[in-house]
């Protein structure tokens, strides 16, 4: 069964450094998402991406964050200058379609980001 | 805005016990409702979903019914197994391509 993959599984970085989290969505899916979960808190939406542009973003997704689909298979989340509070589990997801409430999003296993 | 409230965990049960995990929601419009499960060390997997009032989603012995009148989507299973130990997330999508999640409920099943 096709699945969303993410690399690395765990990333440790120093405060102020740039990190890039990578995701390979399911191949025929058109919508891509990033979510994060700070330890002990809810899973929170960051951004959705369709047709090579951001379709929605949350208040969390400020100028420090960016997303890109650099080729036909990868989807990346970049954090330009990491802060301690960016430490979280980051989940990538994809869906076949995306603008409807009924569409199912399929999640990857997550990347645990630790900012020291 | 949208929100999902789940019962606090952990829920600790013996094998073959009946499971209920409560979930209530607040949403604009007509949301779809989802239960995701996260097994240790793995990502979020869709367990079941319901897209309109009175729909029942079911999978792997788990069921949940979309109750618009009580804004609820409680997860139930008649007889849990040790392998069901995981964190369960209730979520909704009201049509803006974003999922709103509850905090998750950890289920621990002992033999």
What is chain B's pLDDT, residue by residue, as a tens digit (111 residues)? 889 999 888 999 999 999 999 999 999 888 999 999 999 878 899 999 999 999 999 999 999 999 999 999 999 999 999 999 999 999 999 876 789 999 999 999 999
CA distance A78 to chain B (A): 20
Of B41, B95, B97, the CB nearest to A48: B97
Task: Tell me if A109 and B93 make a contact (CB, 8 A cut-off).
Answer: no
Per-residue pLDDT, B34: 96
Whether A42 has its CB under 8 Å from any CB of chain B: the answer is yes
Contact between chains at A110 and B89 (C-beta distance less than 8 A): no
Q: Do A98 and B97 touch (CB under 8 A)?
A: yes
- Dist. CA A6–CA B107, nearest whole Å: 26
Tell me if chain B has a CB within 8 Å of the CB of A38.
Answer: no
Is A85 strand, coil or helix? Answer: helix
Mutate which of B43, B51, B88, B106 to disrupt the A interface (most A C-beta within 10 Å)? B43
Please indicate whether, in this complex, the C-beta atoms of A45 and B93 are within 8 angstroms of each other: no
CA distance A68 to A76: 5
Would you mind telling me the total number of residues written for chain A in this entry? 116
Q: Distances in Å between the alpha carbon of B53 and those of A71, B28, B70, B95, B105? A: 40, 14, 11, 15, 24
Please give the helix or strand (H or E) that residue B51 lies within, else none.
Answer: none
Strands A19-24 and A43-50, by their bridges, are: unpaired
Backbone angles phi, psi at B21, to 5 degrees: -120, 120
Q: Which residue of A has its CA nearest to B48?
A: A104
Question: Does A114 score more than 90 pLDDT?
Answer: yes
CA A36/CA A14 separation, integer angstroms: 19
Strand A111-115 to A10-13 pairing: parallel
User: Among A67, A35, A63, which residue's Cα sits nearest to residue A51?
Assistant: A67
Average pLDDT over residues A36-59: 91
CA distance B22 to chain A (A): 16
> Taking CB atoms and an 8 Å limit, are B29 and A101 in contact across chains?
yes
Pair A69, A47: CB distance under 8 Å: no
Report pLDDT for A70.
Answer: 87
Sign for the pseudo-dihedral over CA of B61, A28, A90, B49 = negative
């Amino acid at each position: 069964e096709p699945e969303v993959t993410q690399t690395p599984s765990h990333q440790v970085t120093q405060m102020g450094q740039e990190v890039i989290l990578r995701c390979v969505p399911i191949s025929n899916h058109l919508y891509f998402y990033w979510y994060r979960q700070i330890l002990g808190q809810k899973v929170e939406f960051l951004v959705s991406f369709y047709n090579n542009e951001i379709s929605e973003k949350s208040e969390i997704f400020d100028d420090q964050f960016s997303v890109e689909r650099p080729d036909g298979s990868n989807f990346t989340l970049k954090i330009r200058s990491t802060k301690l509070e960016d430490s979280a589990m980051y989940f990538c997801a994809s869906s076949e379609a995306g603008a409807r409430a009924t569409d199912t999003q399929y999640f990857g296993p997550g990347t645990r980001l630790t900012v020291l | 805005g949208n929100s999902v409230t789940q019962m606090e965990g952990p829920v600790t049960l013996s094998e073959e016990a009946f499971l209920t995990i409560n979930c209530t929601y607040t949403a604009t419009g007509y949301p779809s409702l989802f239960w995701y499960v996260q097994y240790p060390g793995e990502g979020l997997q869709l367990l079941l979903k319901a897209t309109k009032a009175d729909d029942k989603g079911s999978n792997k012995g788990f069921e949940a019914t979309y109750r618009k009148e009580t804004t609820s989507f409680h997860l139930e299973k008649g007889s849990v197994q040790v392998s069901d130990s995981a964190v369960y997330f209730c979520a909704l999508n009201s049509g803006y391509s974003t999922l709103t999640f509850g905090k998750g409920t950890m289920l621990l099943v002992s033999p």
